[in-house]
Structure 1
Amino acid sequence: MVTTPIKTAKRLTTQVENIAPDTTTIRSLDWDRDRFDIEFGLQNGTTYNSYVVKGEKNALIDTSHAKFKDLYFDELKKVINPQDIDYLIISHTEPDHSGLVKDLLDIAPHITVVASKVAIQFLEGFVHKDFERQVVKNGDQLDIGNGHIFEFVNAPNLHWPDTIFSYDHGTNTLFTCDAFGLHYCSADIYDQDLDAISPDYRFYYECLMGPNARSVLSAMKRMSALGEVKLVANGHGPILKHNVQELLDRYHRWSSEQSKGEKTVAVFYISDYGYSDRLSQSIAKGITKTGVTVEMIDINGTDIHEIPEIVSRSAGIVLGMPPLSDNGDIANKVGAILATVNSKQIFGLYESYGGDDEPIDTFSSKLSDLGLNQVFNPIRIKETPHEITYQTCEESGVDLGQILTKKAKISKRKALDVDLDKAMGRLSGGLYIITAQKGEETKGAMLASWVSQASFEPPGFTVAVAKDRAIESLLQVEDTFVLNILEEGKYQPLMKHFLKRFPPGADRFEGVKTAVATNKSPILVDALAYLECEVVSRMDCGDHWIVYSKVTTGRVSKSDALTAVHHRKVGNYY
């Protein structure tokens, strides 16, 4: 194993290891990266994994992030002379994996690029030179000799529309790029410490793959025809070797659960235009938190004849504004959406910030005139999207999903046994407000009553957080927050304020007196006491997460005052 450091403000290292016969990984370790892709926070950095497979001919599978250019090529040349590379297999064209494709082709222009049709089209847009190419589709094979026969598996939307897996029959290794990965940077090549990586593995799935659950199941069905998978050579984090079946089964189980939603929302985006892909993922993540199934559709990569069926089976439509209609193909597909929608559906719109979006008000008027109900204000973007933009998108998705599930939730409440309902309602709790901040702008707050002390050493407690609460995204492992304890007889103003329904992106603290905690989260000045906390673990409990947190510091404003107590009459909703 070789580790080569570079002296920068951010720690960047590389790691080289033989992982199977004739198969070597070059891992680019980005130790300090704290934001990624759709702008969700990273706790443990990330890696970008690339692979070399040698046969009678030689293949390189994916490259790395452009920031690793010098480090990556130094290591690549130790593994293989770039002139001896015959094929470059592109799993997908997202820049963190294909950021060095142009540089590689400048060094070795004879290399044949092997990729899906959509990926080749994307590459043409940023390589800006002619190159040898071989388009592959599901079931196609590439024999490089010495038993290394690659079979390709179509896996669109995992998580880009051009994704394709490659399976080496010679070593039973499946190269999956983003799928089955995790943002987790460590010196461990493999997944031997399952407990350590499990939270990041789940978080990664929720952020990137959960909104594409149906695509996950479709890809895994195609994978089942390949034979045994001994190694999952992913694009981020530890390579899966010791717990392959367990971690694959988790994807299948999570995706099956996610796909059981009674309602489906079609989220249309254009992957290579502006920020459409990232924004759509954030909206989709919010929708899935409510138990509604999402179907992600890249307008560019979808056949126009498939659109009417997709739209007709959807309860809601979310559309990212396309570029002005100089592209006839895109215009026709958007026209097909408009021609198929019906008045029973709901919709939401967002700008793609691609420079020349179609006017959002025009589309809003067209859909409203067709009888559709707009469920969140159009998301208008006036500058490069940042944290608060993505939070607004996620909250908009939550609002849309909650509207679709409202009737079903009411029916479930009525179906609960009356005696059981009343008995559950006799479980009392205190009244608290959780406040959290991540980064410079992303803030959240939630009224809570399901709070209970759980440990003396370290001092800690648990709180139950509904999965469809916006603040849930700010309460991941290692995140920090403040638990504000409300005072009996004086809690009404704060309770009334935080029970209000805030529109997506609204400042929940406007008009409320706050101070800043050591961990940067807001403290409610009018609360009886506060505790600064750090999330240690989370447990899945049906429609809630149980979040266990340790307390780092705290203070009481009135030693003789009592905590507000909440008594419910029913036990099946707040």
Structure 2
Amino acid sequence: MVALGDRNIQSENRLTTQTLEIGDDTTVMRSLDWDRDRFDIEFGLQNGTTYNSYLVRGDKVALIDTSHEKFHDLYLSLLHGEIDPAEIDYLIISHTEPDHSGLVKDVLALAPNITVVGAKIAISFLENLVHQSFNSQIAKNGDQINLGQGHVLEFLNAPNLHWPDTIFTYDHKTQILYTCDAFGSHFCTDDTFDKDLEALSPDYRFYYECLMGPNARSVLGAMKRMDKLEGINTIATGHGPLLRHNVQELTERYRTWSKAKAKAEQTAAVFYLSDYGYSDRLSQAIARGISKTGVAVEMMDLKVADVQEVQELINYVSAFVVTTPPASGRYATAAQTAISQMLAAAKSKQIFGVFESYGGDDQPIDPLLTRFKDTGLKEAFAAIRVKDTPTEAIYQACEESGTDLGQKLTLKENIKKIKEIDGDLEKALGRLSSGLYILTAHKGDLNGAMLASWVAQASFEPLGFTVAVAKDRAIESLMQVGDTFVLNVLEADNYASLMSRFLKRFPPGADRFAGVKTRTAENGSPILADALSYMECKVVSRMECSDHWLVYSEVTVGKVSKPDSLTAVHHRQVGTYY
């Protein structure tokens, strides 16, 4: 193993590299980004991330993916240490997202005769990215490249995981499957492989929920193709540790999670434009918000969308969200044609949403809104207007907008279920009494709050408790493993105003604390001035419980403001709703 960079330097953005032989004539080149705490702002990272690139040597040589541009000098030095780049025959592009293809132009400069291999649309995207001619080969599902010495590379289509041009690559000799974003995690560690399953699991799940969950049906489609392979002993991911010790366990988790999402009774479509402004990233945040409500999501890139496919999708879904397309340029006509097809196929019972891309040439959003409204469609959420580089607050508003859409789709069904419940079991469960609490959290530029009642002490040493958080609550995104928050305990004789305040629905992006007296805890979260007591907490683990997450947290700081007062108590009639 070779490591470059000083791991002892305590500074921001520690960047190191690492190489390791992972199979016969097969090397991983890992770019370790130890201090990265956000991934394109959409979601926070607790443990940094890695960008993984691979060399496969037969009689010919293939390089699978490159690295992030921030690793320019480190990565190219690492590559030179492994091989003369001019000797590389193929550069396989798993997908064209910049964190994996950021150094393609530099590799082309070092190896001008190299053949770039990728999906048809990946090659098209790269032509626009590098602005130069290069040798290329389109990889279709089932196509193979024989490198010699037994290394036969087979390609599998895996669109929308999580870009439209994604392909997997399988080496029949080593039985290594290269999957880029799929099965990855933003988890930076010196361990090349998934030795510590317990440590990896929270980040692996969070990564799935953020990037793969909104594309659950595409995940299942890709896994069907994987099932036809003769055997997989290693999954070589684009981010985080490679899967070798727990391949079966971790891939089956993807299958289980995706099947649950794909069984949803209703589906929403999200139309975006990859590589235009911030459309893809904003759409991902919206899709994640929708999927948190149990509504399935189908994502479609307007750059490559077929008009017939657009019509079929609109006919199938209960709601759709669309980005503002460019007013001119290469993809303007295709995107606007697709939108015209949406308008023609849309039905009056559907709801819709629109968001700006901030791509520099966006079609005005208000005329687009008017076109949809004129067909009788109703807005699922207020149009998302992006007038500058999106901030954490914009991405959070996108996620909350998606959640609002999903909750509107499921509202009638949920009300129906509540009305049908009158059995003794449900009434008996409802007799479990609980306190009244308000969770408050701060992370980056974001604040969150939620009224809670399902709270119980869970340990003495260390002091800890559990709280159940519904999957579709906005604060759930701020309560991942390692996150901090405050538990505010409401007073029995002084809870009505706070309960009323935090029981209501907030518009996406709204300030939960406007007009509320607060002070700042040591961990940065708001403390409610009128709370009976408060505890500063750190999330240690999470357990999935159907429609809730059971979050176990350690208490680090606590104080009671009124020692003689009692906690407010909540009583329910039945155990099937709050």
Which string of whole-angstrom CA distances, capped at 9 and with x for unpartnered residues, describes residues 122-142 of structure 1? 111121111111111111111
Q: Check if 1:303 corresponds to 2:309.
A: no
**Alignment-derived partner of residue 5 in structure 2:** 5
Q: Check if 1:394 corresponds to 2:380.
A: no
Paired AA for residue 561 in structure 2:
S
Paired AA for residue 523 in structure 2:
N
Which string of whole-angstrom CA distances, capped at 9 and with x for unpartnered residues, describes residues 200-235 of structure 1? 110100000000001101111111222201110110
Matching of residues 111-260 of structure 1 within 5 Å: 111-260=114-263
In structure 2, distance between residues paired with 1:374 and 1:355: 25
How far did residue 570 of structure 1 move? 2.1
In structure 2, distance between residues paired with 1:38 and 1:227: 39
Q: Secondary structure at the match of 2:5?
A: strand
Percent identity between the two aligned chains = 65
Q: Check if 1:403 corresponds to 2:408.
A: yes
Contact 1:27–1:48 (Cα < 8 Å) also in 2: yes
Which string of whole-angstrom CA distances, capped at 9 and with x for unpartnered residues, describes residues 372-413 of structure 1? 110110000111001000000000001000010111112222
**Alignment-derived partner of residue 266 in structure 2:** 263
Which string of whole-angstrom CA distances, capped at 9 and with x for unpartnered residues, describes residues 76-127 of structure 1? 1121110110000000111111111101111111111001111111111121
Q: Check if 1:540 corresponds to 2:532.
A: no
Q: Secondary structure at the match of 1:166?
A: strand
Contact 1:325–1:331 (Cα < 8 Å) also in 2: no
In structure 2, distance between residues paired with 1:572 and 1:461: 23
Contact 2:12–2:35 (Cα < 8 Å) also in 1: no
In structure 2, distance between residues paired with 1:37 and 1:211: 17
Match of 2:446 among 442, 446, 449: 442
Moved more, 321-330 or 545-554: 321-330
Q: Secondary structure at the match of 1:144?
A: strand
How far did residue 417 of structure 1 move? 4.2
Which string of whole-angstrom CA distances, capped at 9 and with x for unpartnered residues, describes residues 425-480 of structure 1? 111111100000100x2111000011111111111110010111110010000100
**Alignment-derived partner of residue 460 in structure 1:** 464
Paired AA for residue 126 in structure 2:
L
In structure 1, distance between residues paired with 2:301 and 2:524: 38
In structure 1, distance between residues paired with 2:544 and 2:36: 27
Q: Check if 1:520 corresponds to 2:524.
A: yes
How far did residue 371 of structure 1 move? 1.1
Paired AA for residue 527 in structure 2:
I
**Alignment-derived partner of residue 425 in structure 2:** 420
In structure 1, distance between residues paired with 2:308 and 2:42: 33
Could you list the runs of 5+ residues in structure 1 that have no partner in the other structure? Answer: none
How far did residue 38 of structure 1 move? 5.1
Match of 2:385 among 380, 386, 397: 380
Q: Check if 1:432 corresponds to 2:440.
A: no
In structure 2, distance between residues paired with 1:37 and 1:117: 26
Match of 2:504 among 489, 497, 500: 500
Contact 1:16–1:24 (Cα < 8 Å) also in 2: yes
Matching of residues 475-514 of structure 1 within 5 Å: 475-514=479-518
Match of 1:62 among 60, 65, 71: 65
In structure 2, distance between residues paired with 1:303 and 1:370: 22
How far did residue 569 of structure 1 move? 1.7
Which string of whole-angstrom CA distances, capped at 9 and with x for unpartnered residues, describes residues 63-84 of structure 1? 1111111111111112111011
In structure 2, distance between residues paired with 1:303 and 1:403: 29
Q: Give the number of equivalent residue pairs.
A: 573
Q: Check if 1:332 corresponds to 2:332.
A: no
Contact 2:42–2:396 (Cα < 8 Å) also in 1: no
CA RMSD in angstroms, aligned pairs only: 1.0
In structure 1, distance between residues paired with 2:18 and 2:68: 14
Paired AA for residue 539 in structure 1:
M
In structure 2, distance between residues paired with 1:15 and 1:457: 39
Contact 1:391–1:505 (Cα < 8 Å) also in 2: yes
Which string of whole-angstrom CA distances, capped at 9 and with x for unpartnered residues, describes residues 163-208 of structure 1? 1111111111100000010011111011111111011110100000
Contact 1:175–1:233 (Cα < 8 Å) also in 2: yes
Moved more, 171-180 or 318-327: 318-327
In structure 1, distance between residues paired with 2:12 and 2:400: 34
Moved more, 362-371 or 382-391: 362-371
How far did residue 486 of structure 1 move? 0.5
How far did residue 571 of structure 1 move? 1.6
Which string of whole-angstrom CA distances, capped at 9 and with x for unpartnered residues, describes residues 539-560 of structure 1? 0111111100000001111111
Contact 2:170–2:177 (Cα < 8 Å) also in 1: yes
Paired AA for residue 464 in structure 2:
G
Contact 1:38–1:279 (Cα < 8 Å) also in 2: no
How far did residue 418 of structure 1 move? 2.4
In structure 2, distance between residues paired with 1:417 and 1:173: 54
Contact 2:442–2:525 (Cα < 8 Å) also in 1: yes
In structure 2, distance between residues paired with 1:421 and 1:95: 51
Paired AA for residue 513 in structure 2:
F
Match of 1:360 among 360, 365, 368: 365
Contact 1:466–1:545 (Cα < 8 Å) also in 2: yes
Matching of residues 280-295 of structure 1 within 5 Å: 280-295=283-298
Paired AA for residue 405 in structure 2:
L
Paired AA for residue 409 in structure 1:
N
Match of 1:275 among 278, 287, 305: 278
In structure 1, distance between residues paired with 2:248 and 2:422: 40
Could you list the runs of 5+ residues in structure 2 that have no partner in the other structure? Answer: none
In structure 1, distance between residues paired with 2:382 and 2:288: 18
